[in-house]
C-alpha cells in the first residue's frame, strides 16, 4: 500500500479529506481509484489503513479502516549533526539517513565548511532537505518524518542537545573505536544518541576541544578515512545495528 503523510490532527476523525500535493500524486500520478486501500500517517508515530471513498476534482475522501501498529521506528533516537558538505551531498545524506532510521538532522556550519549560505539560501535548502526527508519516509513507510533543523554552529547545536550520549568521530582519534565505545553500552539504558560528522575538511582542533567540553566521546570509525557523506551513513548504520533494530 502507498503511504501518505497528512498534517498533524488530520486523522482525528474517521473521514479524511486529502488535497494538495497528496491529491495530485494519488490521482494524477498513481491513478488510484475508489475502493483502493492506502496508508495514512501524521508524523506522530501512528499509521492508519484507509479506503478511498470519493475522488473529486480537488480532493479525495478516505475512510479510516483501522489503526496499524507501526513497527518502522527504531527504539533508539539517532540525531545526526552533519557538517555542511559541498554540492548536493546533503540531499543524499538526508535521504539515506531517513531510510536507515535517523530521528533528526542538524546541519552544522563549521570552521572548515566550504559552503556559506545567507539566510535566504539557508531557508531554501532547509525546506528542500525537509521535503526529501518526507519523500524518503513515505517510500520506506516510516511513521515519523525526521526533522531537519536550522543550520547552526557546532556550539549552538551541542548546547541545544538533550541526549544520553554524544559521539564525535574524528580521524585523529587512535585509541577508542566506535565499536569499542558501543560494546559495553546496554541498549535499554541509551535511548538517544547524537553523532557529529565533520565537513570535507574535517573538524578543526578548537571544535574537537569544544566537543570534549560538552562530554562527547571521541571515536574512530575505522582505519580508512571516509568521505563526509559516507561517514554519517556508516555511523547511523553501526549505531542502529548495535543499539537499534537494523539487522532484525
pLDDT per residue as tens digits for the range 221-235? 999 999 999 999 999
79, 107 contact by CB (below 8 A): no
Categorize the per-residue pLDDT at 183 as very low, low, confident or very high, splitting at 50, 70 and 90: confident
222 CB neighbour count, 10 Å cutoff: 13
In the chain, at which residue ranges do the beta strands (DSSP E only) sit?
3-5, 15-18, 37-41, 47-55, 60-68, 77-83, 104-108, 147-148, 165-169, 192-197, 217-219
Query: Which domains occur in the chain, in start order?
Result: 3-68 (2.40.240.20), 77-242 (3.40.1280.10)
- Name the one residue in this structure whose C-alpha cell is 488535497: 19
Q: What is the pTM (predicted TM-score) of this model?
A: 0.90
Q: Which of 203, 207, 195, 240 is nearest to 225 (CA)?
A: 203
Question: What are the tens digits of pLDDT across the range 116-164?
Answer: 888 999 999 999 999 999 999 999 999 999 999 999 999 999 999 999 9
Amino acid at each position: 500500500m502507498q503511504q501518505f503523510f497528512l498534517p498533524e490532527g488530520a486523522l482525528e476523525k474517521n473521514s479524511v479529506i486529502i488535497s494538495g500535493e497528496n491529491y495530485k500524486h494519488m490521482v494524477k500520478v498513481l491513478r488510484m481509484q475508489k475502493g483502493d486501500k492506502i496508508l495514512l500517517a501524521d508524523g506522530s508515530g501512528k499509521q492508519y489503513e484507509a479506503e478511498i471513498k470519493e475522488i473529486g476534482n480537488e480532493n479525495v475522501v478516505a475512510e479510516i479502516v483501522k489503526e496499524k501498529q507501526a513497527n518502522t521506528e527504531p527504539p533508539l533516537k539517532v540525531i545526526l549533526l552533519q557538517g555542511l558538505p559541498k554540492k548536493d551531498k546533503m540531499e543524499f545524506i538526508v535521504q539515506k539517513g531517513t531510510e536507515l532510521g535517523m530521528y533528526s538532522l542538524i546541519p552544522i556550519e563549521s570552521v572548515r565548511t566550504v559552503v556559506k549560505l545567507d539566510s535566504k539560501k539557508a531557508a531554501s535548502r532547509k525546506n528542500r532537505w525537509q521535503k526529501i526527508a518526507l519523500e524518503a519516509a513515505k517510500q520506506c513507510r516510516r511513521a515519523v518524518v525526521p526533522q531537519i533543523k536550522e543550520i547552526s554552529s557546532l556550539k549552538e547545536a551541542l548546547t541545544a542537545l538533550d541526549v544520553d550520549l554524544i559521539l564525535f568521530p574524528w580521524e585523529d582519534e587512535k585509541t577508542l573505536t566506535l565499536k569499542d565505545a558501543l560494546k559495553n553500552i546496554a541498549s535499554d539504558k541509551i535511548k538517544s544518541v547524537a553523532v557529529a560528522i565533520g565537513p570535507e575538511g574535517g573538524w578543526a582542533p578548537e571544535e574537537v576541544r569544544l566537543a570534549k567540553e560538552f562530554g562527547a566521546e571521541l571515536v574512530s570509525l575505522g582505519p580508512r578515512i571516509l568521505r563526509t557523506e559516507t561517514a554519517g551513513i556508516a555511523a547511523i548504520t553501526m549505531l542502529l545495528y548495535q543499539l537499534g533494530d537494523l539487522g532484525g
